[in-house]
Structure 1
Amino acid sequence: MAEHTAEQAGTTDSDRAPTDLRVRLDEEVTLRVRHRPGAADPAFLLVHGLASNARLWDEVAARLCAAGHAVYAVDLRGHGETEAPEDDTYGTAAAAADVLAAGVQLGLTRAIVGGHSWGADVALTLATEHPSFVAGLALVEGGYTDATVFYGTWERFVSMMSMAGPALEGVTLEDMRGYLRAMHPDWSDSAIEASLSSLRTGADGSLSPRLSPRQRTAILRSVWSCPPSRLYAGITQPVTLLPATPVPDNGRIAPDVLALFEQLRASLVRATEGLPHATVHEYQGADHDLHAQHPDRVATHLLELAESVGRSEVM
Structure 2
Amino acid sequence: MNDTEVREVEVEVEPGVRLHLRHRAASRSGSTPFLLVHGLSSNARLWDEVAGALAAAGHPSWAVDLRGHGESDAPESGYDTGTAAADLAAVITALGLHRPVVAGQSWGGNVVVRLAAKHPELPGAIGLVDGGWIDLHAAFPDWESCERALRPQDIDGRPAAAMRQWLASGHPDWSDTAREATLANMRIRADDTVERRLTIPHHLEILRSMWDGPPGPDLPLVAVPALLLPALGPQDDRADPVRRAAAALPDATVRWYPGGDHDLHAQHPDMIAADLLTLVAR
2:10 is paired with a residue whose SS is: strand
- The percentage of counterpart residues that share the same residue type is 44
Q: Which residue of 1 aligns with 2:228?
A: 241
Give the drift of 1:25: 2.9
Q: Which residue of 2 aligns with 1:71?
A: 61
What CA distance in whole angstroms lies between the structure 1 residues aligned with 2:65 and 2:156? 25
Q: Which residue of 2 aligns with 1:4?
A: none
**Tell me, which stretches of 5 or more residues in structure 2 are unaligned?**
none
Deviations 1:94-146 (A, max 9, x none): 11111111111111121110000000111011111111101101000101131
**Tell me, which stretches of 5 or more residues in structure 1 are unaligned?**
1-9, 249-260, 309-315
Which of 227, 233, 255 does residue 214 from structure 2 map onto?
A: 227
Q: Which residue of 2 aligns with 1:62?
A: 52
Give the drift of 1:246: 5.6
Question: Normalising by the residue count of structure 1, what TM-score does the alignment of the two structures yield?
Answer: 0.85
Give the drift of 1:30: 1.4
Q: Which residue of 1 aligns with 2:261?
A: 287
Which of 161, 168, 193 does residue 155 from structure 2 map onto?
A: 168
Which of 228, 243, 268 does residue 269 from structure 1 map onto?
A: 243
Deviates more, 1:23-32 or 1:225-234: 23-32
2:195 is paired with a residue whose SS is: strand
Q: Matched residue pairs, number?
A: 280
1:23 is paired with a residue whose SS is: strand
Letter in 2 for 1:277: D
Letter in 2 for 1:131: P
Deviations 1:240-260 (A, max 9, x none): 000011696xxxxxxxxxxxx
1:139 is paired with a residue whose SS is: strand
Q: Where has structure 1 moved over 3 Å in runs of 4 or more?
A: none
What CA distance in whole angstroms lies between the structure 2 residues aligned with 1:147 and 1:223? 7
Give the drift of 1:83: 1.3
- Is 2:125 the counterpart of 1:136? yes
2:31 is paired with a residue whose SS is: strand
Q: Which residue of 2 aligns with 1:306?
A: 280
Whether the 8 Å CA contact 2:151–2:204 is kept in 1: the answer is no
- Is 2:13 the counterpart of 1:25? yes
Q: Which residue of 1 aligns with 2:72?
A: 82
What CA distance in whole angstroms lies between the structure 2 residues aligned with 1:305 and 1:110? 12
Q: Which residue of 2 aligns with 1:7?
A: none
What CA distance in whole angstroms lies between the structure 2 residues aligned with 1:180 and 1:42? 34
- Is 2:203 the counterpart of 1:216? yes
What CA distance in whole angstroms lies between the structure 2 residues aligned with 1:215 and 1:167? 13
Aligned counterparts, 1:94-133, within 5 A: 94-133=83-122
